[in-house]
Structure 1
Amino acid sequence: MGQTLSEPVTKKESASCANENYLVGSSCMQGWRVDMEDAHTHLLSLPDDPKCAFFAVYDGHGGSKVSQYSGINLHKKVVAQKEFSEGNMKEAIEKGFLELDQQMRVDEETKDDVSGTTAVVVLIKEGDVYCGNAGDSRAVSSVVGEARPLSFDHKPSHETEARRIIAAGGWVEFNRVNGNLALSRALGDFAFKNCDTKPAEEQIVTAFPDVITDKLTPDHEFIVLACDGIWDVMTNQEVVDFVREKLAEKRDPQSICEELLTRCLAPDCQMGGLGCDNMTVVLVGLLHGQSPDTLFTKCARPAVFTGVNNEDGDQNQIQQDISRVINNFDGEQRVNAANQEEEEDDNEPAPANFQV
């Protein structure tokens, strides 16, 4: 948890845009934090591909330079990949993330900066949805009122993430990378990307994104992208229910985003930090070539639940993941990963900095 103010900054920076396919609103708020470190993007059509829309949220930490730089440049990097023109959007997103990260390592503006940022992006083209994610911001779609995750959080306590961290010479302590960073993938954070024997995808903290694909149907109502300042307070389904109720009342997306920020803001910062973070949300209403009234009518229907909804893993599952990782690495590997040596009575090394 970063430093906080004695009173929150509740002024919101909001925007809206629309065309025949999308009704979009966004809002961000500094809240209790000393500085605003988030950034976001909503482009109804990309300059190099008018049929392609791009939406993103970047949750910065340790400063705002990397998040702001990413908000300006990531979509350009994705479009510049030859895979993009070939229709291989998944690989274009993956390469775009990694190339932007490498560019920031040598750019005079960012190369000495210590900050980092999450990145969750949604690219939509001709009915296909591609969501790229690095970090713990999140994208969720509403399908007849059911929350469908388009991304999953990257936490150092998850088994696959912990494996990579340890293999690259790091460790997990108090559910943080090297006892410091609460997420395991990010743009920037170059202090965690110095293992000369590992490629970019296998660094302690990597910018390599997971990419989830989906195909829009008439039942897809909207997509919400937001930083963890929202998701730490409300579940996927709670956010979908909140937004859907407002759309059924024919509220515009911008005002819905603003109200969601207010809903998630903590009354004080004395209860563990929930609701005390910077907050950013982008709401993408899916019009499917029809009028906004059609979307409003859809959102007034009773929700239909199919069981697809999956929230991020609970704490018990997280602890099980950590335990499995510990059991799968011998003592010497764990000690090397933690950069410590600790002798037990039986002379077997122990994972001193890998906490359960």
Structure 2
Amino acid sequence: ETDGITFYYWALFDGHAGAGAAVMASKLLQHHVVEQLQDLVDILKNSTSLPPTCLGDEPETTSNSRTLTRAASLRGSVGAPGSPSTPQTRFFIEKKITYEYLVIGAIENAFKEMDSQIERERTSYIVTGGCTALIVIYLLGKLYVGNAGDSRAIIIRNGEIIPMSSEFTPETERQRLQYLLVAYMQPQLLGNEFTHLEFPRRVQRKELGKKMLYRDFNMTGWEFILFDENRLLLPLISKEEKRARVMATIGVTRGLGDHDLKVHDSNIHIKPFLSCTPEVRVYDLLQHEHGADDALVLATDGLWDVLSNEEVADAITNFLANCDPDDPHRYTLAAQDVVMRARGVLKDRGWRISNDRLGSGDDISVYVIPLMHGNKLS
């Protein structure tokens, strides 16, 4: 509760290279969120009286957050064009900022402050590794879902699936990573061992002098380039087994921590390529009717690696439909059920899920949060 404004908070942290960053973030990120929201209390209180919750002289009544305003110059009056007496006019764009964008900014800043705290205190408190972070805030009738990493959130509403996050991996953020090196002209970050260019496969010395397909940060498609000695460097993003990695080291590009992470057997730091900034999506609970089986599902990548959105939604929907609607533990039981589905059953060839697919061997955490207005989202 922030000076009379109550909000609810859930979070999932998936650690790697040690549990230190995940443990620290699980205990402290919520305090950074409160601190950032504290500065918005007066605005948030007043915003409840504005229909579109818009900051500015007049409420914005459309989805367009920009308006053109015509203003007369202080110089000149009526006269011939170009003369000092001509009324000079200009158009400028005045942005109307809704309060939800201030909340999004507060969440983004909370992640930055958390990452900075991990950096400052990692030695004193032996904070190892890094973690992905997926949080949800319920505030003034809206859900704010902030994600940095490869965990995922979906909403199940009347059988419909609404994605509430994106996964941030070397493949999805290829262009951002490549652009870092070009825009800021810091090739030293690659340590003369890697190239920011991407090739469809690992190239070999015997291919020198031949044309190879490649792409850069400004390209979605591919084109040919003459392959020379400079192209023999390892790619910034490489595919190992089923997962792409940055400098063959880490498979996620956003999260908290990882301040000491280096390429194996080198002095090349990975942190400059990683971002702690989350993507934040907003869902207005008050604009939709929700049934008792509608839910927000949060889960780490151990679940999504083996089950699709549709499989998870079907499993949870079917489970809830067969539960006692008055059972306060039905959502927790649904989360446990979907975890077991992802683990599978032990057979002769290992743990198997439906269609004889391999079950998940990764750690899995799941929240199933009810969306019906009658529930208190707890």
- Partner of 2:254, secondary structure, is coil
1:264 is aligned, of 336, 342, 364, to 342
The change in CA–CA distance for 1:290 and 1:192 in structure 2 (over 3 A counts) is: closer
The change in CA–CA distance for 1:184 and 1:166 in structure 2 (over 3 A counts) is: farther
- Once the two structures are TM-superposed, the CA of residue 108 in structure 1 deviates from its matched residue by 5.1
Answering whether residue 137 of structure 2 is matched by residue 66 of structure 1, we say: no
Return 245-254 or 78-87, whichever deviates more: 78-87
Q: Which amino acid aligns with 1:185?
A: R
Return 58-67 or 102-111, whichever deviates more: 102-111
- Post-superposition Cα deviations, 1:24-80, rounded to whole Å, max 9, x if no partner, equal xxxxxxxxxxxxxxxxxxxxxx57666211111111111111111111111110110
1:134 is aligned, of 135, 148, 173, to 148
- Partner of 1:173, secondary structure, is strand
Give the equivalent residue in structure 2 for 1:218: 289
The runs of 5 or more residues in structure 1 that have no matched partner are 1-45, 194-201, 293-356
Give the equivalent residue in structure 1 for 2:268: none
CA RMSD of superposed structures (Å):
2.9
Runs of 4+ that moved beyond 4 A: 46-50, 108-112, 164-168, 269-274
Q: Which amino acid aligns with 1:228?
A: D
CA distance in 2 between partners of 1:71 and 1:276 (Å): 23
Given the two structures, how large is their TM-score scaled by the length of structure 2?
0.57
Answering whether residue 166 of structure 2 is matched by residue 152 of structure 1, we say: yes
Aligned residues: 240
The runs of 5 or more residues in structure 2 that have no matched partner are 45-101, 191-235, 263-270, 325-329
Mark the structure with the bigger radius of gyration. Answer: 2
- Once the two structures are TM-superposed, the CA of residue 166 in structure 1 deviates from its matched residue by 4.3
Give the equivalent residue in structure 2 for 1:172: 237
CA distance in 2 between partners of 1:62 and 1:98 (Å): 20
- Partner of 2:275, secondary structure, is coil
Give the equivalent residue in structure 2 for 1:103: 117
- Post-superposition Cα deviations, 1:81-104, rounded to whole Å, max 9, x if no partner, equal 155434421001000001000001
Give the equivalent residue in structure 1 for 2:311: 238
The change in CA–CA distance for 1:213 and 1:163 in structure 2 (over 3 A counts) is: farther
- Partner of 2:177, secondary structure, is helix
- Once the two structures are TM-superposed, the CA of residue 114 in structure 1 deviates from its matched residue by 3.5
Maintained 8 Å contact 1:137/1:228 = yes
CA distance in 2 between partners of 1:124 and 1:60 (Å): 24
- Post-superposition Cα deviations, 1:100-142, rounded to whole Å, max 9, x if no partner, equal 0000111256765441111111111122111111000011111
Give the equivalent residue in structure 2 for 1:329: none
- Partner of 2:137, secondary structure, is strand
- Taking only the aligned residue pairs, the percentage that are identical comes to 28
- Partner of 1:264, secondary structure, is helix
The change in CA–CA distance for 1:144 and 1:259 in structure 2 (over 3 A counts) is: same
Maintained 8 Å contact 2:115/2:276 = yes
The change in CA–CA distance for 1:108 and 1:176 in structure 2 (over 3 A counts) is: closer
